[in-house]
Structure 1
Amino acid sequence: METIKGKTTNGLMRHLRDEHGISISGSKSKKDLLNMGYYHGYKGYRFIGNSQNKIAYTKFDEVVAVYQFDANLKSILYPNIMLFETAIKNYTLDTIIGIGPADFESAFSQLLNDYKKHPVGNSDYRAKMKKRLELRDKVNGAISYNYSDNKAVIQHFFHNNKQVPLWAIFEVISLGEFGFFIQCLNEKTRIAIAEDLRIHSTSHNQNGRILEDIIFLIKDLRNAVAHNSVVFDCRFRKMNPPSRLKEYIQSETGISNITFVNIVDFFVVLIFLLKKLGIPKTELRKLLKNFSSESEGLRKAIPVSVHTSIMGSDLRRKIDRLMSYI
């Protein structure tokens, strides 16, 4: 088997100069490269969106600026996404408790039955039944894993021969799995939860589905932030959000051209959600100002054309409209 010969940091600096035309020298740049890593740092931040859309860097300081901007974005986003995740599960639990029993088996038989609105055996019926059964497998898998991992919140109920309540299940399932839970609920329950969150609308073809749309959108961002993946160019996005979500957010905030191609659109949705959760205006303004400040710092550190490619040509308009919405 052929051995792999790597490059030292000095060798990587020469490689950046000779092969990529990037000016890099000195102990500070060497430390910056060591701290960010060539593969996680430069290789991860040399393009926007996909590897064909390379950034025409001329100075290593520009690479560092984009890398630091990305890191700072994640620091701003993380606590607010965690707040959303915790709150959305608690709102759902509160609504379901108002409807009936709050253990998974009861919810599975009485609420997670969206398939019933279709004729038995047709394609929609089978597709939704399949998702429902897959959800059960995911929940059982999470319970089994956390029991084996000595998670007290799960072991307590098994050791006392009790049903595992939804609140305990929500503690151990991922945000994506929680999105599938919402997706499998019947329409009446979905709408009840959305109404409690004040996000239900009879327009935009919602049918109580707007919450799952939001969860699946935020889930990809949440995972990227939690795993320290790149977020500045929205490459984490695994799906094109449905038009009903884009239209709804535009209608609620008064901000047009929401496409989720640029990171500012995710801040629009996040601030919209935090406002619905009753977060004070002062906190929302602080969040937006932090984002705006980071964007302005990046603009000063890289060519304006690159900043526009990253942030979008309508960034300032969206920030101003978002401040008005707050």
Structure 2
Amino acid sequence: MNEDKLFLTYNQQMKKLRNDKHIECNGSNHKKILVRAGYFNIVNGYKTPFVSGQDASGNHIYISGTTISQLQAVKQFDDQLRSFLLKYITQVEEETRTLAGYKFDECNDNGKIPWYDTNAYSPNKSLQDKMSVISKAYNELSRSQLDYVKFYMDNHKQIPTWIMIKVVNFSTFIDIIHCSKIDISHSLCQLYGLEDEQGRANVKLLIGSLHWMRKIRNACAHNERVYCLTRKTY
């Protein structure tokens, strides 16, 4: 078995950090960091700011004087950043879902054209795209365990738009906006001042921003690192 994969006690982990990585890790306080955060989480997750290069074997070389406490400080910053971002991302998510649900019904004859009718969506989108997003929304509603969804399923003939918009996954919600009539995306652009150089609603920026927000939101929700999260460049 690869030596790096062997089980190591906390004391052995501390010794490995000191001898192999030259990261200061001594005493009960440093040991508590490993107990609470875990070796992989604290070292592999937050070592990057302290790496100064690589040796001939490809192993990381750390800035002289690096301590496990400093790695923990980066983790604490990341924890605070995650909480901060999640607070405002969920606020924006609630706002966009609320306004989109309202505008969806408003531009569909005040709700007389239901969300599961392809006529409720943009005539510029293909039938396949519209059927796909309707199918995804219906499947997610049918799997929902929320009380109010079950109530509507059991006592009404259809699920209203506002419930559908509220319940579907964020990725499905973005697809709905992308396939919906232009009034919906334009109202969201207006809400957040997303305009191009000519002052026109920048729908491409809106959709891209929502996808990027979704990526950060998922990272926050799953307690993944966010301080080093970047967009892929092509």
Shorter-normalised TM range? 0.7 to 0.9
What is the rounded CA distance, in whole Å, between the counterparts of 1:192 and 1:78 in structure 2? Answer: 24
| Of 115, 120, 142, the match for 1:144 | 142
Deviations 1:92-118 (A, max 9, x none): 122223223174224x42224432xxx
Compute the displacement of 1:143 (Å).
Answer: 1.0
Deviations 1:154-192 (A, max 9, x none): 112221232111211122222222111111123344224
Correspondence for 1:191? 186
Correspondence for 1:27? 28
| Of 209, 214, 219, the match for 2:209 | 214
- Looking at secondary structure, tell me which structure has more helix per residue: 1
Structure 1 vs Structure 2 CA RMSD: 2.9
Correspondence for 1:224? 219
| Of 90, 110, 121, the match for 2:120 | 110
Correspondence for 1:300? none
The correspondence of residues 4-43 of structure 1 with structure 2, limited to 5 A, is: 5-43=6-44
What is the rounded CA distance, in whole Å, between the counterparts of 2:212 and 2:163 in structure 1? Answer: 24
Compute the displacement of 1:137 (Å).
Answer: 2.9
What is the identity, as a one-letter code, of the residue corresponding to 1:144? S
Correspondence for 2:62? 56
Correspondence for 2:133? 135
Correspondence for 2:149? 154
- Which portions of structure 1, spanning 4 or more consecutive aligned residues, are displaced by more than 4 angstroms? 52-55, 204-207
Contact 2:121 2:130 in 1 (8 A): no
Compute the displacement of 1:83 (Å).
Answer: 0.7
Residues 60 and 158 of structure 1, relative CA distance in 2, 3 Å threshold:
same
Compute the displacement of 1:240 (Å).
Answer: 4.5
Residues 59 and 197 of structure 1, relative CA distance in 2, 3 Å threshold:
closer
Compute the displacement of 1:205 (Å).
Answer: 7.9
What is the rounded CA distance, in whole Å, between the counterparts of 2:94 and 2:115 in structure 1? Answer: 18
Contact 1:91 1:196 in 2 (8 A): no
What is the rounded CA distance, in whole Å, between the counterparts of 1:98 and 1:153 in structure 2? Answer: 23
Bigger mean CA deviation after superposition, 7-16 or 94-103: 94-103
What is the rounded CA distance, in whole Å, between the counterparts of 2:131 and 2:6 in structure 1? Answer: 49
The correspondence of residues 296-311 of structure 1 with structure 2, limited to 5 A, is: none
Structure 1 unpaired stretches of 5+: 116-124, 242-326
TM-score (norm 2): 0.80
What is the rounded CA distance, in whole Å, between the counterparts of 2:88 and 2:72 in structure 1? Answer: 25
1:73 equivalent in alignment to 2:68: no
Compute the displacement of 1:201 (Å).
Answer: 4.2
What is the rounded CA distance, in whole Å, between the counterparts of 1:80 and 1:91 in structure 2? Answer: 17
Residues 160 and 190 of structure 1, relative CA distance in 2, 3 Å threshold:
same
Correspondence for 1:165? 160
What is the rounded CA distance, in whole Å, between the counterparts of 2:209 and 2:158 in structure 1? Answer: 30
**% identical equivalent positions:** 22
What is the identity, as a one-letter code, of the residue corresponding to 1:75? S
Residues 135 and 55 of structure 1, relative CA distance in 2, 3 Å threshold:
farther
Compute the displacement of 1:135 (Å).
Answer: 1.8
What is the rounded CA distance, in whole Å, between the counterparts of 1:30 and 1:227 in structure 2? Answer: 25
Compute the displacement of 1:206 (Å).
Answer: 5.4
What is the rounded CA distance, in whole Å, between the counterparts of 1:217 and 1:135 in structure 2? Answer: 20
Bigger mean CA deviation after superposition, 194-203 or 38-47: 194-203
Compute the displacement of 1:207 (Å).
Answer: 5.4
